[in-house]
Copies of this chain bind each other. A is one copy, B any other.
Amino acid sequence: MEVINVKKKFELFDDHWSPRIITSLNGQDVKIAKVQGEFVWHDHANEDELFYIIKGSLEIHFEGSIKTLQTGDMLTIPKGVSHKPVAKEECWLLLFEPQSTKHTGEVQDELTVSTYQKI
């Protein structure tokens, strides 16, 4: 059992849109990511997804609407809901999702990551 300081884990990497696993439990991963710019439209057919903003702000685009999350905000996106995260400046995210969750759902993009490093 390791006490994890979440902000210190963010100091271990600098690349964008590449989540790292910081802990796992009950078949779920807690991941952190730094993001900046536009991600790809995608959905997860079988997994709900949780975004929690550790630093910065994040727009999440949906079909017909945009939600803006600030530091300390959390949003659960139900499975099957298409979305595109957009960060005008660097944003630090915490994600909570099943280990089966694919990065960009069934979409393959140059940003797509297929494995996640544990840090």
Residues of A that sit less than 8 Å from B by CB: 1-7, 22-26, 28, 30, 47-50, 52, 62, 67-70, 72-78, 81, 96-98
Q: Complex: how many Å from CA A72 to CA B77? A: 24
Complex: A2 Cα to B73 Cα, angstroms: 10
What is the interface of chain A mostly: helix, strand, loop, or mixed? strand
Residues of B within 8 A of A52 (CB): 6
Known A72-B5, A73-B4: A97·B50 in contact at CB below 8 Å: no
Q: Flag if A72 contacts B6 (CB, 8 Å).
A: yes
A30-B1 contact in complex given A23-B74, A76-B23, C-beta closer than 8 Å: no
Q: List chain B residues, Cβ under 8 A from A98.
A: 26
A53 to chain B, nearest CB (A): 10
Chain B residues with CB under 8 Å of A7's CB are 72
In the complex, which of the residues A62, A68, A74, A96 has the most CB atoms of chain B within 10 Å of its own CB atom? Answer: A74
Contact in complex: A23, B4 (CB < 8 Å): no
Which of A4, A47, A75 gathers the greatest number of chain B CB atoms within 10 Å? A4
